[in-house]
Amino acid sequence: MNAEDAAPSADGSSPPPVPVPGAPYPYPTLWPDPALLHRPRRRWGWVVALVATGLTLACAAVGGLAVVLVPPVLEQLAAAGGAPGGAPSPQPGDPLSVRQAWAKERIDAALAVQHKALLGGDESGYLSVVEPTAAGALDGLRIQFRSLRAMQVAAWSDRGYQPSPTGDEWTVRLSSTPCFVVPTCAESRTPSVMRWRIEDDRAVLVHWEPGEKDGGPPWQTDELVALAGSRTVVATTPVYARHLPTLLREAESAAKVADRYAVGAAPARYPVYYADSREWERWYGGKLPPWAGGYALPVTADRYELVLNGDYLLQAGLGDLMRHELTHAASLTGSSGGYGAWWLVEGLAEEAAMNGAQPTRYEALAEVRTFVKSWKRDLALIAPGEQTSDDEVAARYGVAYLAVHRLIARFGFAKAMAFFKNVLHQRREPALAAPETLGVSWAAMQRDLVDYVRRTAG
């Protein structure tokens, strides 16, 4: 390995040559739980390949980092106090498009009032557009306001929409993005469903609910407390508030490692949510394997958010898990999946989790040793399933880690990351990416990686 190709370790020196529920999980990035035995319990994290808009499997490819700001039209409306402009009042016999334009202008004005109040910390102003008798909307938006403020929301944007008539009311499905701490960030496109009534030339909100029935972002449904650092925002429910300083310290330290594995620009901020047992089952839909300790979820192809399972953490391995998951967010932002690349995704995250430690210190070497006795030597087939045993999940992660460690040791950090980018971001099969970026055939490269895994496992 060339010195200039090495990723520095946490202390600035060069290291030694160093989950997505799907069908089956395309990128299960959980931490297998090698049974307690004499070791600390380690729960595994995974990349969940879901897109929040519909929570559909897999992410579409997009180019570059999507940056969002408050739309100028809403800024102008907010500056004008939310007053609507010049859409003509509909007359009997006018087409639907005229009525929609009139209603949308007034809804835009109400949303502008909300945006201004949110960024200004004015809860009364934020709720002023809601019908006083709409208890559900008031309660839900009050929770959302307080959680967003706790996470230091610095910008908010809504995607374009068209109101649909529902009797005398107008239904809107809004797609929104908060930026935390900094005023620009990648889109999250979080959906919500609203119903508005126009009274005295003013839009009044009569119903609001999250747009994802199976569970969306925590700030949309739960009261949160939070702390922000220079690279991360950590949030949790009040029951875990006492853990926030520890969570922030570990997240900030992990972000310094994860940033080095970014393909392109590193995320503006890494949002990290720490769930208790109830929230773990609900946030972003839950439904994770029993060996899950955390996951990195692409809410869009350009934005990852991380959820950690409070039942199993702060016991041991929090720093490892943070480095693992934040590295997914850094390395996979803007990617669109790959061909049999689970080993590459998880191996890179485990390499970051190890943070320069020697492979002989990897906890699951015994499990790897057992696994490789019957392994078919195909890296494309090692992804675990939901019901895979803890020991075997640990072994599969270990194989991925050792393979990526060897990849970096042999070709250097820069070339290894170029291979990662070619496979995960440019959707090239390893058989094509290996000769293009590494100058060797995939067959020869895989033999070398597999031989190293078997030698190291003993």
What is the per-residue pLDDT for 42?
58
Q: DSSP strand E in 318-396: where? A: none
Amino acid (one-letter) located at 42: R
More confident residue, 160 or 189: 189
pLDDT of residue 335: 85
For residue 311, what pLDDT is reported?
74
Q: What is the DSSP string of 268-331?
A: S-EEEEEE-HHHHTTGGG----TTEEEEEEEEETTEEEEEEETTT-SSS-HHHHHHHHHHHHHH
Can you give the pLDDT at residue 255? 98
| Average pLDDT score over residue span 140-168 | 95
Phi then psi for 380, rounded to 5 degrees? -70, -10
> What's residue 175's pLDDT?
95
Q: Give the per-residue pLDDT at 76.
A: 47
AA letter at 40: P
pLDDT digits (tens, 9 = 90+) for 4-24: 333 433 333 333 222 332 222
State how far the Cα of 284 lies from the Cα of 216, in Å rounded to an integer: 4
Distance in angstroms (rounded) separating the CA atoms of residues 285 and 184: 27
Q: Which has more confidence, 173 or 312?
A: 173
Q: Report the C-alpha gap between 256 and 261 in whole angstroms.
A: 10
Q: Average pLDDT, stretch 131-135?
A: 98
Residue 238 has pLDDT above 80, yes or no: yes
With 70 as the cut, is the pLDDT of residue 413 above it?
Answer: yes
- Least confident range of 24-28, 53-57, 154-158, 442-446: 53-57
Output 82 or 349, whichever has higher pLDDT.
Answer: 349
72-211 CATH pick, 3.10.450.50, 3.40.50.10490, 3.40.50.300, 3.30.9.10: 3.10.450.50
What percent of the chain has a predicted confidence (pLDDT) above 90? 67
Task: Domain ranges for the chain, please list them.
Answer: 3-55+220-457, 72-211
For residue 103, give both structure tokens.
């209603």
Average pLDDT over residues 263-277: 93
Mean pLDDT, the chain, integer: 83
**Architecture field, domain 3-55+220-457:** Orthogonal Bundle (1.10)
What's this model's pTM, rounded to 2 decimal places? 0.83
Span between the terminal Cα atoms of the chain, in Å? 23
| More confident call, 438 vs 315 | 438
Model confidence at 30: pLDDT above 70: no
pLDDT higher than 60, residue 224: yes
